[in-house]
Each structure stands twice: as structure tokens, then as C-alpha cells.
A and B are shown apart, each in its own frame.
Chain A
Amino acid sequence: MAEQRTGSGKARVFGYAGAIAAAVMAGLLSLALPEVLAGGRVLFGIDWAPSLGVSLAFMLDGLSLTFALLITGIGSLIFLYATGYMGDHPRFGRFVLFLFAFMLSMLGVVMARDLITLFVFWELTSVTSYLLIGFDHENAQARRNALQAMLVTAAGGLALLAGFILIGLAGGSFDLAQILTGPGLQDSSYYTPILILVLLGAFTKSAQFPFHFWLPNAMAAPTPVSAYLHSATMVKAGVYLLARLHPVLGDTPAWQGSLTAAGLVTAVMASILALRQTDLKQALAYTTLMALGTITLFLAGSSEYALTAAVTFLIVHSLYKAALFMVVGAIDHGTGSRDVALLGGLRGALPITALAAALAGLSMAGVPPLIGWIGKELLYAGAATISPEPLVILGVLTANALMVAVAGVVALRPFWGARIKTPHIPHEAPWQMWVGPLLLGGLGLVFGLGAGLLQPMIEAMLTTGFGRDHAAELHLWAGFNLPFFLSLATFAMGITLYLMRDRYRRAIADLLARLPGFDPGWDRFLDHFRTFAAWQTRLIQPGRLTAYLTATFVVMVLAIGGALLLRRPVIAIDLSAPLLIWVIAAVTAAGAVLTLGTRSRIAAISGIGTTGIGVTLIFIFFGAPDVATTQLMVETLSAVLFAIAALRLPAIVERRSKSRQLAHAVLAGAVGLTVTLIVLAVTTHPLDRHITSFFEENSYSLAHGLNIVNVILVDFRAFDTFGELTVVFLASVGAYAVLKRRSRKAGP
């Protein structure tokens, strides 16, 4: 991998710090083990938004703790590995920060007790994984793939939020501890929408068909990230959610059908594609898809065997997949290539990595006595309980056989056989890079030989997570039964496929060339989406003031006029008024008419002035001397300013066509009518004078003023007046700034 290696390497200390911090967290979490293994739940947290019933609450039970230990334990090894792999990268410090933020988000997801908290952490994993996948941000492909992963998972996240809110409505609480011990949501009227939305969230996150395409692209990330995101974290979030909600959403035909279909298709398709890859990392990416599909498939079931198989395989996969990704990184690091055709006979040069690869690879292939063997036996035992059984067994058999072949390609082929010349002389990875894979591979052996070691944890997951009485037992040797014979068949098929892999690759490549790809489809979708966005922006924002004004006035007429039509408020029309009022109103209106009709600037200004004086007279007539004084001053000042300005401005030209003028007149009339109706409706309604009464009674006693309007302005509402002064001041400063500078030449 062409990493830039120009940094000083001083940032390595952050990598070690991350590894230690993660290990300490794993240690702290294991303090909860005794209580959780005894079937209990550890709860802690604080109120967040109590009025909404949302709290920042956490919960550790068998399911949460298993995930949390995998996340922190593997996380610690990943930090160590990354320090060896890219510790001298110039941006290594930033990398560690992103990775740590991601780890914390992931912990939040699996430990959240509150659904809203879970959602927040869920979205945080999308954001932080975006930063990690696009870490090589100078590479356009990395940016594109990061964005793709983010858009797909974040879109699913939105669906999930809607689903969570519906769960909250249906279950009466966002508290998982309460929801999980409740009666379940299967009979709720919201069940179908909840199921669809939650599955959208889980399937996008865990890359289930048809949302699988982002995951192989996410391999643009540096290898430590792939090792982490695609083994124990990110993609497992969706699976975690399915497992978490299994007790309240599972066990219905809709749940079983959708999970079986998505899981089976993903598992079989991904394993077929995995063997086609020649890039080791890509091959592993597809096997991750296969594993996710398999777990989803087994979560469709409800039998003890199916659920035990799901959670056991989850642990098995986390262990061997993280190890294998790290091995591939070590090969890449040690030889300069990860193309399977360019690698061979490396066991002499990379002995420790070869050992780790062998352990992890054998576990992946399901060879006894590794834990992978037990996992595979459980898968077959579980498959026999998921309908349609023959199809499920056949699918699992195909996928597992292909896994055997891929394990051979990834873990065996590079180290054994004839030595092939590599881009640079192979060398063993530094210790930071082989500790992790060796430890994880070794754990696979330990848990395989001591099959009982994992039993209490599995037991706790089945009892507290799924509400079963017991888990199925993990045996290294379960006798000559159906799973055993299926395992033999798996090996036979797997080895055959391994030997025929070159012919197989060509056949699959030919087939794929004839099928439409998901990835080009995604690009086309984004292109169309951008075009659509640009089109609707041009439509809504044409950049013409008259268009905006027209839209505003039309909406005003429709909204307020519509409300008036619907509500039909009582409107009293009383045309009796002193003659003087009629005369003043007529003069005021006449001023407006003059302005409407004239092309002369001076006549228009006179018309405006006439209206202003008319309004002043109205204020005087109805007992508002202060308002009238102000109005008179403002009108005078406006007229003077206008007259000065008009000398510098051109004559008025009517550019509108006759029909357009008519249309505008109709709209103007409608707006005017609406205003008239509003005023009539308001004045017909009884007046509430209690604020006015307060001012009348308290002006003198509180503010020692007899002019009530004055007292309101300078005393009761003094801050409003202060704000008003500020506005006028800013307007004058703005006007000065606009006019001060001589104009530059600007185009039309």
C-alpha cells in the first residue's frame, strides 16, 4: 500500500496510549462480568431531556457486554497494530483520534439503554467511519467511497430514528430495559412500519442485500480501519440491533421472511463473489458480507439452536476476521503487494504472521479443533430449524464451502507453495503487527479446545438478550449427526473449489460482466439526484424579485384567505361614520390613486405625501396626537428625501404588458381584500383591554407620567425603544456606507 511515510513517528505515542486506554476500558467492562453472567443487568446513566423522556442511560447485559468486550479488546489490538502499520504517517495523531472516537461511538451503540441515545451513537459511528474510510483524503476514490458509506448508512439511520420514535409511541417508553421486559410489539398496530424502518436501518448498516455495495468499497480505508470496522464493529451494529430487538419484534412471519431472504441472498452472493477476488483485502471484504448475511439469517430463527449459532458465529467471526485483516496488512507491509497472484512461499520470511494466518484461516474454514469448527457445526444444527429448511441448509452449505476455499486463498496460498518474487524483499512485520493476529488466532484455538469457556457468555446472551431458558451447548465433538456429515461435505466442496479457483474466477467474471453493477448504478443515482436538486433550486429560486413577491402574496392570500373561508368569523359591516372621516379616507385613497397612475416622479411623490398626511389626520381625529406628530415628521422627511433622490433617478417606465398588469391588479385586489377582511374580523371580535387598563392604572403610580403612550415607550417598554433606536442608527450607517463610495463600473 502506497502510504506516505514521511512523518516523524513521534505520534506513535498516541497509538500506544489508545491501545492502553482501550485495554483499560475492556478491563473495567469485565468487572461487570460476574453480575452479567449471573443473568443480571448493570444499569447506569443520567437524565438528558427528562421532559421528552430521553435519558443518557446505559445498560450492560449479556448481549451488550459481549459486544463491548469485543469492541474494546479488539480495539486495543488494532491501536497497537496501527502503530506498527502506519505510526510514521504524518497524520497518525489524527488517525488515532478518529479511531478512538469511532470506538467510543460504537461502545455507545451497544451499551445504550435509551433508544434516542442509541440513535445518536449510531449516527456518530456513521460520521466517524466516514472520516476513517476517507482518511486518505487526497484520493478521490477514497472520498467517494467514504461518502457512499456515509450516505447509505446515514439514510438508514434516519429510517431507524423514525422506527425508534414509533417504538416509543407503541411501547410507551424509549427505555430499552422497559421495552424488552414489556409485552413485545408484535401485536402493536405500528408493528409493520416499525419493522420496515428498523430493518432499513439495520440492513444498511450491516450491508445486507440490496444495500451491500458500500462495504467492499469501504476497503479504501487504511487496513487497520478495515480490520476494525469489518470484524467486530461498524457492520456489527446492524446485527446488534437485530439481536437487541429480537424479543420485541421477532418471531413473526414478516420478521422471519425478511431476515431469511436478506441474510440468505447476502451470504450466498457474497461468498460467490469472495472467491472471485484476487486482492486479499477485497476477498476478506466479501467474506465479511457473507458473515453478516449468515448472522442475519440465523437471527431470523427463534429456536435455541438458531440463536446460539448466530451469537457464537458472531464471536468466531470477530476473532478470525480481525486477525486475517491484520495478516493481510502485514503481508502488504512486508512485501508491497496483496495480490494473491504475486504472493507465495512467504512462510520463511514471515514466520509469525504465517502462524497467525494459519490459526485464523483454519478457524475460518471451520477445521477442528478451532472455535470455527464449533461455530460451523452450530450453524448446521441451527439451519435445520429455520424454514424453508432445505433451502437454508443448502445456502449455508454453499457459503461455508466457499469460505473454506477463500480461507485457503487468503491464509494458505501466500505462505505456502513455491516462492514468488514480490515487489520488495519480504520481511517480518514489527511486533506490534503480529501480536494482535497471533493473540486472536490463539484465542480461536483456546476457545475451540476449551469449548466450555464461552458457554457462560453464550448462556447470558441467550437468557438476558433473547429471553430463552438455555443456550444450546457448545461441543467440540457432538457425534455422528447431520451437522457432522454436512461439515464433511463442506470440506470436500471447499477443497474442490480451492483447486478449481482459477476456472471459477473466469466463470464468475464472465457472468458479472453481463449483469448490471450496483456501483455504476449508485453513481448514476447520485448524478440524477444532483441534477434534480439543481433543477428544483432554479425553479424555487429564479433570482427575480417579482417572482418572489408574487409567490409571497399568493401564499398569503391562499393561507389567510383560506383560513377565513374555513372559519367564517363573524364580520359586522357598519358604514356609519362622520362625514369628515369619509372625506379624510377619500383624500388618503386619492393620493394612492395618483401614485398608481402617474409616470411623473414628482406627482408620485405628491401622491405618497397626500396619503401620509391623510393618515396623520386619522391619527389626530382618533385621539393619537403623539403618533400624528411622529407621522407628520416622518412623512415630511420621506418626501424631502424622495425628492432629492428622484433627481438622481430615471423617470418611471411601465414595462408590464396589459395582461400582466391586469393579473397583478387581480392579485393586488385579493391581497387588499384579505387585509380588509382581517381588520373587519378583528374589530368585530370583542376587545380585550386588560393590558391597556394596566398601563392606564399604573402610568402615574409606577412611572409618574400622565401621557400614557410616552410612559409606555420610555419606561414600560424602554428596551423596545432602545432596540428601535439601534435599528434607525444601523439603517443610517448602512445608508451612509452604501452611498459614500463612488460606484465601480459593474455590468448589468
Chain B
Amino acid sequence: METVLALLSGFLVAAAVWLMLSGNLLRFLFGLLLLSNAVNIAIFSAGRLTPGTPPFLGDKGALPDAVMANSLPQALLLTAIVIGFGLFAFSLALTIRAYRSFHHLDVDQMRLAEPKEDA
């Protein structure tokens, strides 16, 4: 089962990289979202996949009979998802702001803070 998710993760990463290289800021953001999903799947798979047994303890902390899903990557993912959202929201605000200022979304043309090319 891990193999399937490994393939999916790799495919999403490839799509994300292609979008991020496009030079369009909006597509860059799409890529960013895909990339964070892809990485989350990778982390999740690394902790192994156990269908249908969430990490809940029984009464008075009793361990269940079956092996529970790995709780560690889940905790990490929760943090990663929230941080990823913060990053995305801020980048989106920057994108809107950049469009207001430059009237285009072509990142390679945004050189206000860069030295003149080939002086």
C-alpha cells in the first residue's frame, strides 16, 4: 500500500514542480499547495499505513488488541498542515499585492529590488 502512496506523492511533486517553474505567480501558488499535500502524504506513508485503526486508547488507557495507526506522523502532519495553510495564505496576500503593484503576475519581471540586468 505504501508503494501506491509513494507513486502518488512523486506524481504530485512532479506536477507541483512543473507549475512552480511556470513563472506565473498564480500557478506557483497551485504548485505550492500541491507540494505541501505531496510532502504530507510522504510523511504519512513513512510512518506506515494501518487501515482503520485510529490511535485511540481504550478505557483507562488500555492498549487495544490490534496495532494502532502510528500517532507520531499524525501529530507532525497536523502541525505541517496548519503551517502550510499559513504559508499559503500569506503567499496569496503577497500575490494579490504584487498584482496591484505590477499589474502582471510574471515573477521573472518583478525586479524592483534587483540590480539592473547586465549593466
* Residues of A in contact with B (beta carbons under 8 Å apart): 538, 542-546, 549-550, 553, 573-578, 581-582, 585, 588-589, 592-593, 595-596, 601, 604, 607-608, 611-612, 615, 618-619, 621-627, 630-631, 634, 637-638, 641-642, 645-646, 648-650, 652-656, 664-665, 667-669, 671-680, 682-683, 687, 689, 691-692, 695-697, 699-701, 706-709, 712-713, 717, 720-721, 724, 727-728, 730-732, 734-736, 738-739, 743-744, 746-748
Contact with A along B26-66 (1 / 0, CB 8 A): 11111001100110111011111111111111101101000
Chain B residues touching A, range: 35 or more
8 residue pairs of the A-B complex, CB under 8 angstroms, read: A546-B107, A596-B15, A649-B26, A672-B11, A713-B79, A735-B92, A738-B90, A738-B94
Of B79, B101, B105, B115, which one neighbours A724 at CB under 8 angstroms? Answer: B79
Contacts of A641 in B (CB 8 A): 89, 92
**Is A671 within 8 A of B17, CB to CB?**
yes
Of A582, A638, A656, A713, which one neighbours B75 at CB under 8 angstroms? Answer: A713
**Is A676 within 8 A of B6, CB to CB?**
yes
Contacts of A646 in B (CB 8 A): 26
**Is B85 within 8 A of A638, CB to CB?**
yes
**Is B74 within 8 A of A624, CB to CB?**
yes
Q: How far is the CA of A416 from the CA of B46 in the complex (A)?
A: 93
**Is A708 within 8 A of B55, CB to CB?**
yes
Main secondary structure of the interface of A (DSSP, over half): helix
Q: How far is the CA of A673 from the CA of B7 in the complex (A)?
A: 8
Contacts of B38 in A (CB 8 A): 675
Beyond known contacts A588-B8, A622-B50, A627-B44: 6 more, CB 8 A cutoff: A585-B4, A622-B44, A638-B88, A642-B29, A738-B90, A748-B104
**Is A728 within 8 A of B4, CB to CB?**
no
Of A626, A671, A739, which one neighbours B74 at CB under 8 angstroms? Answer: A626
Of B22, B57, B70, B95, which one neighbours A645 at CB under 8 angstroms? Answer: B95
* Residues of B in contact with A (beta carbons under 8 Å apart): 1-24, 26-30, 33-34, 37-38, 40-42, 44-58, 60-61, 63, 68-72, 74-75, 77-79, 81-90, 92-97, 99-115, 117-118
**Is A680 within 8 A of B24, CB to CB?**
no
**Is B3 within 8 A of A588, CB to CB?**
no
Contacts of B7 in A (CB 8 A): 585, 676
Known interface pairs A623-B50, A624-B74, A727-B83; A543-B115 also in contact (CB < 8 Å): yes
Closest B residue, CB atoms, query A586:
B8
Q: How far is the CA of A497 from the CA of B4 in the complex (A)?
A: 94
Q: How far is the CA of A576 from the CA of B50 in the complex (A)?
A: 14
Contacts of B42 in A (CB 8 A): 675, 678-679
**Is B15 within 8 A of A673, CB to CB?**
no
**Is B5 within 8 A of A618, CB to CB?**
yes
Of B4, B14, B68, which one neighbours A668 at CB under 8 angstroms? Answer: B14
Contacts of B5 in A (CB 8 A): 585, 618, 679
Q: How far is the CA of A730 from the CA of B89 in the complex (A)?
A: 11
